[in-house]
Structure 1
Amino acid sequence: MKKLIIINGPNLNLLGVREPEIYGNLSFTEFLDEISSKFKDVTIDYFQSNIEGELINKLHEVGFSYDGIILNAAAYTHTSVGIGDAVSGIKTPVVEVHISNTFSREDFRHQSYIAPHTKGVIVGFGLQSYELAIQSFIPS
């Protein structure tokens, strides 16, 4: 059984209430229940923090023992060299995801300090971005 973890960054604890026109009406807890039942052969753990250092600590903690990490560092994607360095320093493959299409938003959101160190990047498919990332870790 594959063991994956979804790590979400700042403000993603507000999914379902924050800017529903961009992020939808579903809370991440509700969505996690849905995908856990959809991917029964995968263990999916979850961690969310609004604090950059906590995200880095979690990457260090799980970055050598999990089969995959799905990381939505949110706004830290565009500002955190530290998170990029943490991803670079671990062995577990990482897929960077974003709910919105970051390339259709403000110019500063077009830069990722994480992407150069990842297996891939999925942007703009809403919460389905996470499902696509999970599928990338499942052999066909």
Structure 2
Amino acid sequence: MPTTIAVVHGPNLNLLGKREVGIYGGKTMEEINAEVASAARILGVDVEFYQSNSEGDLVTYIQNCVGRVAGIVINAGAYTHYSIAVRDALAAVKIPTAEVHISNIYQREPFRHTSVIAPVCVGQISGFGGYGYVLALQALVHGAE
């Protein structure tokens, strides 16, 4: 069984630390990735990181995870709320997936309260800032024990 967890960042997450800091905090995607990598070392797993603003590229990446990764941590950004393509890719690969949101999507605009990917994920972490990625990684690793 692979011991790699894929960490997938969707659209606009490459702008973390610069974009709407009051909502998403001041940490950059690279800083969050470094924290996840550090946690992965402690947990004894490898991580690989991927970011795209393109829905099709995210779908292709998810499909290419088959046979390579033991789990996926995904923040699909805005695609969370309407991308049936991302949802179907996650369902098709049957890889345990944890959904992450930096902000608490349930305290925001009503359209953000719906996640079309949640039904095909093992769980969702929302509102803990960048630390949510570490929590999701821990959940996937410990959930497999």
Question: Shorter-chain TM-score: what band?
Answer: over 0.9
How many positions carry a matched residue from both structures?
140
Give the alignment's TM-score, normalised by structure 1.
0.94
For 1:56, the equivalent position in structure 2 comes to 59
Checking the alignment, whether the CA contact within 8 Å between 1:64 and 1:92 is kept in structure 2 is no
1:1-140 correspondence to structure 2 within 5 Å: 2-40=3-41, 41-139=44-142
Q: What CA distance in whole angstroms lies between the structure 2 residues aligned with 1:109 and 1:34?
A: 26
- Displacement of 1:29: 0.8
SS in 2 for 1:39: helix
Partner AA of 2:82 in structure 1: T
- Displacement of 1:133: 0.4
Unaligned runs of at least 5 residues, structure 1: none
- Displacement of 1:35: 2.5
Q: What CA distance in whole angstroms lies between the structure 2 residues aligned with 1:135 and 1:126?
A: 15
Q: What CA distance in whole angstroms lies between the structure 1 residues aligned with 2:105 and 2:45?
A: 28
Q: What CA distance in whole angstroms lies between the structure 2 residues aligned with 1:43 and 1:65?
A: 11
- Displacement of 1:44: 1.1
Give the alignment's TM-score, normalised by structure 2.
0.91
- Displacement of 1:21: 1.0
Unaligned runs of at least 5 residues, structure 2: none
What percent identity do the matched residue pairs reach?
43
